[in-house]
Chains A and B, each alone.
Chain A
């Protein structure tokens, strides 16, 4: 699997937008970009994923660069509940149920 690079930590004020970056310069044409987050002492939960176009769901938005070498997870209004470790993961599109490969992610702190 291609690797991703994320900042170790970020900080945000409550109710402000948060932009979490991810670099994946060696991404292949069939790799999907997945984001998961892990709250303290819990299992990870799915946030969003995309291939080429920007994606929106109830939790977040995913902005994908035109060359696909980077992406940004956007939380529109951070809450205290959003404090978690966020993982950006590449997953080959034709690979069916191959496992997710986790890096160290970005630890997001939200300040009240």
Chain B
């Protein structure tokens, strides 16, 4: 089945460690996005990529890094510089063109202890 897959669903890390969240899509979508969601809040944009080998910072990019070496993959690294990394992370993708819908993964819940 076509879709967007995030793994793992739950992730625990010790403070000070970098951690990479996986996002893969087989929808042949050009654009991919990473959002962060804190309890009771809406989604906030971390990074997005509209094409392979190119990406832009979102509203809260500090402490995060991304790469887009393949169309299908857009991994997010949460670095030790991120002050409050515990959150629900969501990846999305959309095909090119005007006002097409975005498809979201099921999310990764990261807990840093």
Contact assessment for A43 and B96 in the assembled complex, using a CB-CB cutoff below 8 Å:
no
A34 contacts which chain B residues (CB < 8 A)?
Answer: 99, 101
A29 in the interface (beta carbon within 8 A): no
B104 in the interface (beta carbon within 8 A): yes
**Residues of chain B in range 77-106 having any CB-CB distance to chain A below 8 Å:** 90, 92, 94, 96-106
Number of interface residues, chain B, beta carbon within 8 A: 28
A: contact size bracket? 20 to 34
Nearest CB in chain B to that of A91: its residue = B99
**Residues of chain A in range 34-54 having any CB-CB distance to chain B below 8 Å:** 34, 36, 41-46, 49
Interface SS of chain A: loop
* B41 contact from A97, A100, A104, Cβ within 8 A: A104
Contact assessment for A97 and B30 in the assembled complex, using a CB-CB cutoff below 8 Å:
yes
B45 in the interface (beta carbon within 8 A): yes
Beyond A100-B102, A104-B42, 14 extra complex contacts between A and B, CB < 8 Å: A41-B107, A42-B106, A43-B90, A43-B92, A44-B102, A46-B101, A49-B99, A93-B98, A95-B98, A99-B48, A100-B92, A102-B35, A104-B40, A105-B42
Q: What are 24 inter-chain pairs, A to B, with CB distance below 8 A? A: A32-B99, A42-B107, A43-B90, A43-B92, A44-B102, A44-B104, A45-B104, A46-B102, A46-B103, A49-B99, A91-B99, A93-B98, A94-B98, A96-B97, A97-B30, A97-B100, A99-B33, A99-B58, A100-B92, A102-B35, A102-B42, A102-B43, A104-B40, A105-B42
